[in-house]
Amino acid sequence: MDSEWPSLSSVTETHKRETDSERSSFSPVTSSLKRSKKKPQPIPEEFKDNAYWERRKKNNESAKRSREMRRCKEEQTKYKVAILEQENLQLKAEVAMLRKELEKVHNMLYSRLPVTHNS
């Protein structure tokens, strides 16, 4: 029965060699190119009826709306970023001012405390 099955060490070694060779031949550049979309095939003129042209028109309008919505969203994001950057600067200035004030209060408090010596 032992002769029917390969030993665990031989299976592990075979698997290791296979995965090592797969790793060495893997390239993210070529791998992603292999998975890219197929190139669109031109549609023969005999299939370009009124329904085809209506679908094309709808698709073009939809693509145009989609691009415009994306541009609008990008502009809104840029606007929000500018506002948040301004707010961030204001908050940093406020933090700096509060730290200075805290340091002044801290110095005033410790300058008024009597010095006690532990003997």
80 residue type, one letter: K
Q: Does pLDDT of 1 surpass 50?
A: no
Q: What is the pLDDT of residues 65-97, one digit of tens each?
A: 999 999 999 999 999 999 999 999 999 999 999
Tell me the average pLDDT across 101-111.
92
Window from 10-14, 17-21, 40-44, 111-115 with minimum mean pLDDT: 17-21
Tell me how many degrees the CA angle 66-69-73 measures, rounded to the nearest 5.
Answer: 140
43 residue type, one letter: I
For the chain, domain boundaries: 50-113
